[in-house]
């Protein structure tokens, strides 16, 4: 009799998470996360209320704090997404090439269960790191700069969804490309999407290529910035939040299906 699906998945996901924890990149991630928190602490330590003058124009320090907080939170969110993609770039492919996937799948384990478990293991590291960094940053920005925690929660959820999309697509791509090529693809694609998102969020136009990237790729940066809209009020990004949320949800489902389809067609060694 085949064991329960939830039991199989939890065991596979636990092993995948332990595999991810044993990787040499984990100490580097911990150091980078600590440095990020120190940088956020330094950036938020000089806060206050009132106005400053720039080129004869009075600017409220609350507005400056909101924009600074939005920039910090968005950069850390994008870093979490990139981290998820890098961790996933060989977390499944390595098991295919070293033959361990074939051994596990010889047992009563479905390919979909194995692929999703490997994805969960890679995401576990990224989510733990992102949760620590983003939560600490949100509280520092809230208590020192007065921004709302509610917006940070929605932005954190958008970050989690974006990280899943990047990780799933990177994992599917890793079945066809080498580790370095997959990692470079993650960096390039997230960077390109972010570049276009930033310029089009507030009404700028980047031509036909910019239009294609903006409307036919995952809204990685856009989703986070739209969630943080209360921090930069009265400025409003030129994006419908409902359409953006539906688009992000679509990519969450689509990226997982792409991964499952790619692994289902993958040839496994004997």
pLDDT band of residue 190 (cuts 50, 70, 90) is very high
Ramachandran assignment for 30, one of left (phi > 0), alpha (psi -120 to 50 degrees), beta (any other): alpha
Q: What angle do CA 170, 32, 183 make, to 5 degrees?
A: 20
pLDDT in tens, 151-164: 999 999 999 999 99
Q: How far apart are CA 261 and CA 198, in angstroms?
A: 32
Residue 103: per-residue pLDDT: 85
Residue 46: per-residue pLDDT: 60
pLDDT in tens, 35-91: 888 888 887 776 554 444 444 444 455 667 788 888 999 999 999 999 999 999 989
**CA 153, 155, 160, 161 torsion-angle sign:** positive
pLDDT in tens, 215-261: 889 999 999 999 998 888 766 677 788 888 999 999 999 999 999 99
pLDDT in tens, 213-225: 888 899 999 999 9
CA separation, residue 42 to residues 36, 84, 132 (Å): 10, 26, 17
Question: 143-180 in b/e burial notation, b at 16+ Cβ within 10 A?
Answer: ebbebbeebbebbbebbbbbbbbbbbbbbbbbbeeeee
Q: How far apart are CA 178 and CA 113, in angstroms?
A: 23
91, 171 in Cβ contact below 8 A? yes
CA separation, residue 100 to residues 6, 87, 95 (Å): 21, 18, 5
Average pLDDT over residues 15-19: 88
Give the residue from 158, 98, 128, 117 showing the smallest Cα distance to 256.
117
- Alpha helix positions (H), 202-240: 207-216, 220-227
Give the residue from 176, 169, 184, 66 showing the smallest Cα distance to 122.
169
């Amino acid at each position: 009799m085949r064991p329960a699906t939830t039991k199989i998945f939890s065991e596979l996901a636990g092993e995948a998470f332990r595999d991810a924890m044993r990787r040499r990149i984990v100490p580097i991630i911990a150091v980078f996360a600590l440095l990020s928190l120190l940088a956020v602490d330094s950036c938020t330590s000089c806060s206050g209320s009132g106005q400053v003058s720039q080129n004869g124009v009075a600017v409220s320090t609350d507005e400056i704090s909101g924009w600074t907080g939005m920039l910090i939170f968005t950069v850390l969110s994008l870093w979490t997404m990139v981290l998820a993609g890098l961790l996933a770039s060989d977390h499944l492919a390595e098991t295919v090439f070293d033959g361990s996937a074939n051994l596990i799948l010889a047992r009563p384990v479905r390919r979909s269960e194995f692929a999703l478990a490997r994805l969960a293991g890679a995401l576990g590291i990224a989510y733990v790191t992102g949760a620590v960094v983003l939560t600490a940053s949100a509280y520092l920005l809230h208590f020192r700069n007065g921004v709302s925690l509610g917006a940070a929660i929605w932005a954190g959820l958008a970050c989690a969804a974006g990280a899943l999309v990047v990780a799933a697509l990177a994992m599917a791509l890793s079945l066809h490309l080498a580790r370095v090529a997959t990692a470079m693809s993650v960096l390039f694609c997230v960077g390109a999407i972010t570049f276009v998102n930033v310029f089009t969020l507030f009404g700028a136009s980047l031509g036909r290529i910019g239009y294609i990237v903006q409307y036919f790729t995952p809204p990685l940066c856009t989703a986070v910035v739209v969630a943080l809209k209360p921090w930069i009020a009265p400025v409003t990004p030129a994006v419908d939040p409902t359409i953006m949320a539906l688009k992000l949800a679509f990519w969450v489902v689509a990226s997982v299906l792409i991964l499952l389809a790619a692994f289902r067609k993958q040839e496994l060694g004997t």
